[in-house]
Every structure is written in structure tokens, then in C-alpha cells.
Structure 1
Amino acid sequence: MKDYIKIHSGDLVAVALAPLSAGTTVRIDGNDITLQEDIPQGHKFALSDIPAGKPVIKYGSPIGVATQDISQGTWVHTHNIKTGLGDLLTYTYAPNCEPLVPTDDCYFQGYRRADGKAGVRNEIWIIPTVGCVNNIATAIERKAQALKTDAIDCIAAFPHPYGCSQMGDDQENTRKILANLIKHPNAGGVLVVGLGCENSNIDVLKPYIGSYDENRVKFLVCQESEDEIADAMELMQQLVDYAGQFERKPISCSELVIGMKCGGSDGLSGITANPTVGAFSDLLISKGGTTILTEVPEMFGAETILMNRCENEKLFANTVDLINDFKNYFKRHDQTIYENPSPGNKKGGISTLEDKSLGCTQKSGSAPVVGVLSYGESVKNAGLNLLSAPGNDLVASTALAASGAHIVLFTTGRGTPFAAPVPTMKIASNSALAQKKSNWIDFNCGKMVEDTSLEDLGRQLFDLVIEVASGKQVKSEEAGFHDMAIFKQGVTL
């Protein structure tokens, strides 16, 4: 097992892959370095003296500035390093992207919908148009379990607090997210439950949905019904009967869309779990598939890497807007742009936002950026896409699903039980987490510091994704968890 790693040849710090005690001597690049203090797992130590005011280099890039003289062999963290980032920046396009070499296609066992789209689940979804009917939706979910057959993977409601008393972009975003979920191919049938007097009522929502299969999507307006639960059950029976006709069949993995997100990161996330997802992303894209990377605030400090991988200058300009629009969002609310990482991130060894972002963007692999999506926009281009959404786990993962992701890959060093509207695979950065929370974790990337290569882990993760796309449940599905959250940016009336 490796005890430490220097990630890039130009780095001024190394990372402890296991707890290291003061007095331990490590040999890196032919030099013996004696640690002057204990270094927790995932945390950094200096490979040479770093004067105050000088950049601290990790991943081959600055992750901040030394706030005091740092001696060789000492712990490098929030007590002696701060962010070096500023506010809005001017960017220059310096293209640095090469298309991936195509690899052989493969297949998963999925569902072919009437509109031609492919799904990886055959579920019945109950979607309220407004928070006022959340309890009705969950009551329908509970009662409808009696209708479930083996042909139906799950019956789930997705309560949320919005759909009324919203203004401007917030109301628009709610309508887009709800409409996109209604159209999502993982749902073999959808019951849309409205109140009747809300801003985003069913008649208002229908133009956002567009054309739809009347057998697959049913609507219920509670204020127009004498007994909404009884009426809902009749509609649910129709949806179960319709969705029950679908069977799994071979579908090219070029039709898979996979969302990529991290949360509760630690110092190993950017070394094990995120690079493994990046290797997976490259492999899927090489077969014609699609991945979506989001959580824009966690691109700050690493954004130029993504910008320079844009296929053309228009995509570069869109990525600049993606970054600066989010910075302006922070500024409009008088918030510090770089108020990150979280307490849990810091405890795990991440010191600054640059440190977090350079690790976070490892999930993007090396593929060119082929699309930049606004919040609530559906994916159109096969390959690597960037999606505008915040870092919040539930909001970002819901945004990935609404943009078309069949599955979300969620890397974590701390662990979390939540789920998105689509299967949400938890990927541990370290073996201790995978062993402790085996009821949460689906895949362990901690093996990379033990005995498994990045290439092998990327292939193993790819194989598991194909299994999940073909029906294997992830741990959050086994637990019956389904979550949904919509991004709120403005005023509530």
C-alpha cells in the first residue's frame, strides 16, 4: 500500500494516503524528507521550504498562497495557506483538446420508449406541480404500492416546495425542471398532480412539456376532483398497465447519458475517486456516449482547464459566461465568491477552493467539451457537457437528471445517503469509508492506493455502470430513497 503521493512532477506538496506520524522519513524524487508533525490521511505536507506569499503547487497548478513561511516536512493546510483567487477574470482561449480514439460499442439492457428515447428504469413517477399538493402526492405513492408489479421498478413521488409564489427565473426554472422530469425516459408512466390555482398549474406547464404520449402521462387537478386520491388510483392503474408492457432489450451504450457530481470530498477525492470517474467518462465518450459535469462554483480555480478543452471558440465563450454568471450571482447576493470549501472538506484535507476545484474537475477526464448547458436545458450533443448548477448535492444532482442523465455518479470522501430522481451511485474515495458505510457506498476507489491501477478502476466502474443501466439497483435504490430539489435564486412572494 502506498503511504503518500506526489501527484504532478512540479508539485511543492505531497498527499498522505494514510496517516503519517511526525519523525517519519519519506523518499520523494530521490530526496529524504522527515515529517516535522503528524499528517492526517488526505492532507498535504511540504516537499521543500515555501516562503510566505509564494504559490503552493498541487496537481501542477497553484492551489493558493502561503500565508507564512512553510518548512519542508510540515503540514500544509488552512492555517498556512489561503486562496489566491480574485473576482471576475478575463480569459483567453488557448485550445488544448484532442478527440478521443473511438473504442468498440457495447450494450446495456434498457427500455425503448415510444418516442425513441432509451431509459434504464421502468418506474412510475408522481410529480406535483406545486408544494401545496406534496402530501397528496406522497399519499398516492403509499397507496399505489399495492398496484406495483414485477414489471415496474418503482413507484415514487417527488415533492418540492415550489410552483407558486415565485418570480422571474425561479418560476421559469421550476417549470423547466418539472417538464424535463415528466419527459424523462426512466419513467414508464407519470402522474402530474396539480392544485388548480397555482402559478405553474397544469395548463401553464403543458407547453413546457410539449407533445406527450397520453398513455404515459396523466394529469390530475385536485381542486376539480371530489376525491383526488380515488381518482389518482384509477389513473395510477392505467399507468401501471401501460408501463408494464415495456421490456428490457439491448441498447447501445452510445445512448447512455451519465451525470457526474461530487460531495463531502476529502483529500483523496481528487486522487482516487474523481480521476476514476474521469477515466470512466473518457471510456464512455470513446464509445459514443455522453457525460455531464456540473457544480460550477467548484470549477472556480480550474476553469481554464475546461475552457481550453472546448471544441471551438463559441463553446469557450459559453464556458466563460457559465463561470462569470455564477460569480455575478454570488456578488448580487453580497456573498464571497470563494467561500468554500466546507468544514467537512477541510477536515478531509482540502484547504482552498483551488484545491477542491482542481480535484473536482478530474471527473471530466480528458475529452473535449462539446456542450455548455444552462440550468434546466436538455443535453443535445454526445460527449462531455458542462451544466450550470450550484454545488449543492440535491440541487445539482436533480439538475443532472433534468438535463437527461440516466444515472448520476457521485464521488464522496465523507459519505451521504441521498438520491436523485435517477439511480445515484455513491463512489468512495477511500476504503475506510467504503467499509464503514457499505449500506451507502456502491464502488470503492480507495483500492487505487492499495493494489489497483486507475485504468483498471475506470474499466471496473464502467462495467458496474452497464450493470446498473441494465437493472442492478444501487444502494440508495435498495433503501427506497428518492430526492428532488430545485434551484431557488430569487424572491419568494
Structure 2
Amino acid sequence: MAPKVLHLSPVDDVVVALEPLDAGQVVETAFGPVDAREPVAMGHKLAVKPVKCGDAVHKYGFPIGVATQDIQPGEWVHTHNLRTALSERGSYVYRPTGSPAPVLDDGLTFMGYVRPDGQVGVRNEIWILNTVGCVNKVAERLAAMADAKWRGDGIDGVYHFAHPYGCSQLGDDLVYTQSLLAGLVRHPNAAGVLVIGLGCENNRIEVFRDRLHSETLPNVAFLELQQTTDEFAEGMRRLEELVERARECVRQPVPLSRLKLGLKCGGSDGLSGVTANPLVGQVADRVVARGGTALLTEVPEMFGAETVLMNRADSPETFAKIVDLIQSWKDYYTRHGQPVYENPSPGNKAGGITTLEEKSLGAVQKGGRLSRVVDVLGYGEPAVKPGLNLVSAPGNDMVSVSALAASGAQVILFTTGRGTPFGGPVPTLKVASNRQLASSKPSWIDFDAGRIVLGESMDDLADELLRKVIRVASGEELARNEVNGYREIAIFKDGVTL
């Protein structure tokens, strides 16, 4: 019989309910039988030790907050008796933990497209990117025309990714727009890219080209609409040239070391940190062990668990970069008069996640347990070091997934306990934390991590999920977001608009 609760660490004061518990129900725990004093929903916490008011409450083996009243065994632990212990600033000391992950050389490969610059794509697509939001509809119409004409016969599709920016932007906001778009222009899933500009915007084509830092861009064409009589005829002509070059690319076996895997969670619940996130972390460790790259983002959801990542830094220099990353995002919230230590999501709280520490300790498990942190990437900066990389981006699902793609992730593993339909510009595999979500939203969900609750081995499921990632990367399967046609981007913004 599957257990009704899960005790994640011997030092924990709470267990996680794996199914709804009724008041008076007795459950077996590592500390003996505990009588639930009140109903406890699935994914929520049940106290198994007495905790005095003001003392820390532990989950995952770490403090997740402070008791605001005395808590007795059998009580539900949530916002009514637990608060965060985080503050705006922290003091950090580098304490390296563990040893480097074992290196695996088992010849595991996927079928990818090797680009002229050496990057490897998992799709052979044509992308249309606009420098400014006012040309969204022209780009959208061109994409539809080109997709209807050329999809198939070596072309996996023609896609446009709308956004509202590129004009009336100042300072960092313009840089953010340019950095994100430049990262997408460089992306290896795009065999060809048509960049469309208007001609009078801040982010004019000649300005944007400088951001690309390349003299030769054989797979990129540019089209400025104010200098074009018939933008559709000219756009289709340039797209046809890109399509012809793209058709020369064919899939070939490449080692798993060429895979860059993006890691993200959204709509989390109390089981996300128990099932889906550690499962994805095991897949990330498997990819990194074979010389590949894993990209972890949503920096605000590292607050409270940042020392776990800091102590996995591969050097004091990387440790210092992580400290700067964390503090820069805390300063960002403080600058805008917002608390850095609150869990703002109603969905998270409804799913059983009380504090930001608890959310973060569950979230960082997507980065695995064995892989060293080898680099910290700025927004839109490409990943160049194999291993676990941290990417600067907020917790917002669409913004952070777009940032992962801009840093080079060819496939993204997105864990969720509440569910979400959206997808990024690359295959975005949704991993459900619970069986109810997986069964109720099969059109959204690619993999059911809730099977862990029923007693299936996480190690076996990680091997199964890795095989699925390889099939998706090889074009043998499509992610649900691709089947549904749900592909979009969002760009980070911080500042005024003229």
C-alpha cells in the first residue's frame, strides 16, 4: 500500500500529505502514529513534532520559516501558524559540499541538426522576429503565409514570436529587448531567421545588428518595412532563400553532451518539491554527467535556498557570481518597494506551499543534487560552459522560459502542480507533480511524476523521462505545446516607457 504521508528528512518537523487526510485519521510516520487534528489537503504539511512559537520549522532538511504559535503533532502547518524568516540582505560564506558528479561515457546520442557555427538544433524551423511591436501583425501574416507554403519537406515550421517592445524604451529596458531577441536569433533550433523592423524605432535594425556581435550571419535576413514597397512579396522572397538553405540541414547522431536543457517550474503545489522537481533534477544530473548543460532560472525562487546552490559552485569565482546574482535581484525588489521574502502566489499557497523558503527549497531541486554550478549568465547571455548554469531572470513563467531559450536551451522541462497550457519558443515538456493534474489535463501534460506517490522508483522514472527528452530532441515526438501550437515569448521590463 502506498504511504499516505512522506517524511523528506529525518530532521523535518512536518510530513507532506500524499492524499487528503481527514480529521481524526491516524497516519504512520517515522515518529510513530500521528492523529490528524484537522483536515489536511494533499500536498499540505502535517506536524509530527512539537514546535514552540518562534522556533524554526524544517522541511527538506532545512528551515522553511518560523512558527507564529505553538504547534503540536497532528496539526496542519500553513500560513496561520508559519511565517518566513527571510530578510532583504544576507551574508554568505563559501562552503563547498560534495564531490564532482561522476562522468558517464555510455555513447548516448540524439538526432540533431549541426549548424555551421557548431551549435546543435533539435528542430529545423524558420523564425520571424520583429525589432519592434508595431510590426507584429505583418510578421504574423508572413509567418502564416510561409508556414502554409513550406512546412514539411525538411522544414518543421515557420513561427513568429510577438512582443510589444523595441520602441519608446530607454536604458536597460532596450538592452533587455535586444538581448532576448539576439539570443533567439542565435538559437540553433532556427535554421533561418528573418528579422523585421519598421525603420524609426529605438531598436532599429542597424542598432540591433550591433547587438548580434557577428559580421557574418548566413542564416539571418533583415527586412525594414519603411524602405519596402511590398513587404509581403519581399518578405516571402527572403524567407524562400532561408528555406532553401535550411533544407540542406539533416539530422545526424550527436552525443548527449550537445544538449542544453532548460529547467523551470510554474503553478507549483506541495508535491512539486517532492515528485516533479527532484525527478527533473535527476534528469539534469544525467545530462550534465554526460557532458551536457542544464540551465536553471527564476532567481527570486532561489531566495531561502541560495546557499544550497552557492555551496555547489565549482570555484570561489563562481560562488561570488551567485552571490551577486542573488543580491542584485533582492536589490531590484527593494528598489521598487516590494518585499523580497514573501511567497506571493495564491496558487502556491492553495497547493500547500507556505513560505518563499519552502517554495525555493523545492524549486532548486530541478538543478539536481550532483551537478556543480559552473557559471552565472546574464539575461540573454549564451551558455558556453557545460554543467549547471544559473540564468538571470524573474519567476514569471513566460519571461523566464524565454530567457532559458535565449541562453540556448533546445528543450525545456517545466514542472507544474496546478497546470498551465503555455509553451516557449522551443519544446516545453510539462511534468505534472500529481496524478490528478496528469489525468485531468492530458492535452497539457507530457509526463506524470505523480506516479512516484504510488511507489514507482524515481530513478526508473528519471531514466524514462530522459528517454522521452531524447525522443523529443530527435524529432520522434512533439511536446504537447508543439502539438497545440502554443509557442510564445515574453521580454523582461524594468523602467519607464516614453
Structure 2 length-normalised TM: 0.97
Alignment of 1:435 onto 2:439:
yes
Counterpart-to-counterpart distance in 2, 1:339 and 1:128: 36
The one of 467, 475, 480 aligned to 1:463? 467
Question: In the alignment, which of 475, 484, 490 is matched to residue 485 of structure 1?
Answer: 490
Map 1:15-30; keep pairs closer than 5 Å. 15-30=16-31
2: distance between equivalents of 1:144 and 1:248? 22
2:450 maps to what in 1? 446
Does structure 2 retain, via aligned residues, the 8 Å contact 1:261–1:411?
yes
Alignment gaps of 5+ in structure 2: none
Q: Match of 1:416, SS?
A: coil
Separation of aligned partners in 2, 1:404 and 1:84? 35
Q: Is the 8 A contact 1:215 1:242 kept in 2?
A: no
Check the 8 A contact 2:15/2:48 in 1, yes or no: yes
Cα distance in 2 for partners of 1:446, 1:144 equals: 41
For 2:125 and 2:3, how far apart are their aligned partners in 1?
44
Label 1:59 to 1:197 Cα distance change in 2 as closer, same or farther (>3 A).
Answer: same
Deviation sequence 1:338-383 (CA, Å, 0-9, x none): 2324000000000000010000011111211111111111111100
Task: Give the unaligned 5+ runs of structure 1.
Answer: none
Amino acid at match of 1:120: V
Pairing 1:298–2:316 present:
no
1:40 maps to 41
Aligned-residue CA RMSD (Å): 1.1
What is the distance in 2 between the residues matched to 1:465 and 1:30? 39
CA contact (8 A) 1:147 1:240 kept: no
Instruction: Provide the rounded CA distance (Å) in 2 between the counterparts of 1:211 and 1:114.
Output: 14
Matches of 2:224 and 2:364, distance apart in 1 = 44
Verify the 8 A CA contact 2:182 2:380 in the aligned structure 1: no
**2:31–2:48 CA contact under 8 A, matched in 1:** no
The answer on 1:278 being equivalent to 2:320 is no
1:57 CA displacement: 0.6
Shift of 1:132: 0.9
State the identity as a percent: 52
Give, as a single letter, the amino acid of the residue that structure 1 aligns with 2:159. A
Q: Does 1:122 align with 2:124?
A: yes
* Match in the other structure for 1:219: 222
Any idea what the Cα deviations from partners look like across 1:368-412, whole Å, max 9, x if unmatched? 111111111111110001111000000000000001111111000
For residues 368 and 28 of structure 1, what CA distance do their matches in structure 2 show?
33
* Matched length: 493
Q: Which residue of 1 aligns with 2:426?
A: 422
In the other structure, the counterpart of 1:143 is 145
SS in 1 for 2:57: strand
Q: Where does 1:251-270 land on structure 2 (aligned, <5 Å)?
A: 251-270=254-273
CA contact (8 A) 1:97 1:310 kept: no
Distance 2:140 2:6 in 1: 49
Instruction: Show structure 1 runs of 4+ deviating over 3 A.
Output: 212-215
Q: Which residue is equivalent to 1:166?
A: 169
Match of 1:473 among 472, 478, 481: 478
In 1, Cα distance between equivalents of 2:27 and 2:139? 59
What is the DSSP-based 3-state SS (H/G/I as helix, E as strand, rest coil) of the residue aligned with 1:261? strand
What is the match of residue 156 of structure 2?
153
Taking structure 1 as the reference length, the TM-score comes to 0.98
Residues 341 and 350 in structure 1, CA contact (< 8 A), matched pair in contact too? no
Cα distance in 2 for partners of 1:182, 1:165 equals 22
CA distance in 2, matches of 1:97, 1:31: 32
The 3 A distance-change label for structure 1 pair 240 and 22 is same
1:392-407 equivalence runs, <5 A: 392-407=396-411
The alignment status of 1:82 with 2:83, answered yes or no, reads yes
Q: Check the 8 A contact 1:22/1:35 in 2, yes or no.
A: yes
Q: Is the 8 A contact 1:431 1:445 kept in 2?
A: yes
In the aligned structure 1, how far is the partner of 2:73 from the partner of 2:218?
68
Aligned with 1:269: secondary structure?
Answer: coil
